[in-house]
Structure 1
Amino acid sequence: MGYAENNGDFLNPKDWRILRAGDEPCLREFPNPDVVKISDIYFAFADPSGYEPHPWRGRKIVEAVSLDGLNWQILGYVEPDPDTPATHVPEAFVWREGKVTWLYVFYACQAGGEPYDYRYKRIRVMRRKVTEEELRQYRKLLQNRR
């Protein structure tokens, strides 16, 4: 439904249907998610807690993959940079250069220190080349879970 058909209301609740929520979320404890798709694989990034008792340093960027956007496999987490206590709020981006596909993840770094400063001090980016072999491995991993 477009703008004119909806009298200017872009996010009409009647246009949406919840697929997974409540007691059956796509992923538990997966805050600030961002999802991109490369070929037939969805990549999700978030910054859940639980890696140490500190409320901020205990959060790390986590990566998950899916074939359908509903059923996910968590691959692991990325340690914060050595000069920053915590990294949060990942935002993913896919860039293609010819036949090469790059997966970028931008993220915010907290200031830290004592007393702990939870504010974000800088934004950084990391990237990796996504190969057809990597995508094949994810397909195999995800199909074996069914």
Structure 2
Amino acid sequence: MPRLSSQAGGAKRRAPLKVDELVSTAVRERNRPMSAYDLVEHLASQGEKVAPQQVYRSLGRLCSEGAVRRIESLHAYCAGGEDGGAILYCERCGALRFPSVAHLADALREHAQGAGFSTSRAVIELCGLCEQCSSAPSAWEEYQ
């Protein structure tokens, strides 16, 4: 049974660690990018009522721990991949890959430093089609 704590007005809310567990599990099980509102809807469909603010706070904690990664270009979150690694996202099926590109990130940081720019983080995301989707006909091609 989830731990609940009291809020003003007598409303109950879940403890942060319980929300973190729910969010982390949902992201891992779906294995697809999910926005915070996708997570709220998914958890509601599982009978877990969680406010968007709780999900955003949980995602912040999980990102800082490395349990979840933010996909900047999609405004979404996913599980997996090493911090600093690239994210490859299939625009058709939503598949994700996480190749290690530490050498590329290091080269970009060196270039930035040479230009007098101080970096705080590097985000490398590529969108396109995975091998399976690029070899399959598109809906438009099937229609013709």
Report the TM-score, using the length of structure 2 for normalisation. Answer: 0.29
Greater helix share, structure number: 2
- The one of the two structures with greater contact order (alpha-carbon pairs below 8 A, sep at least 6) is 2
Report the TM-score, using the length of structure 1 for normalisation. Answer: 0.29
Larger CA Rg, structure 1 vs 2: 2
Greater strand share, structure number: 1
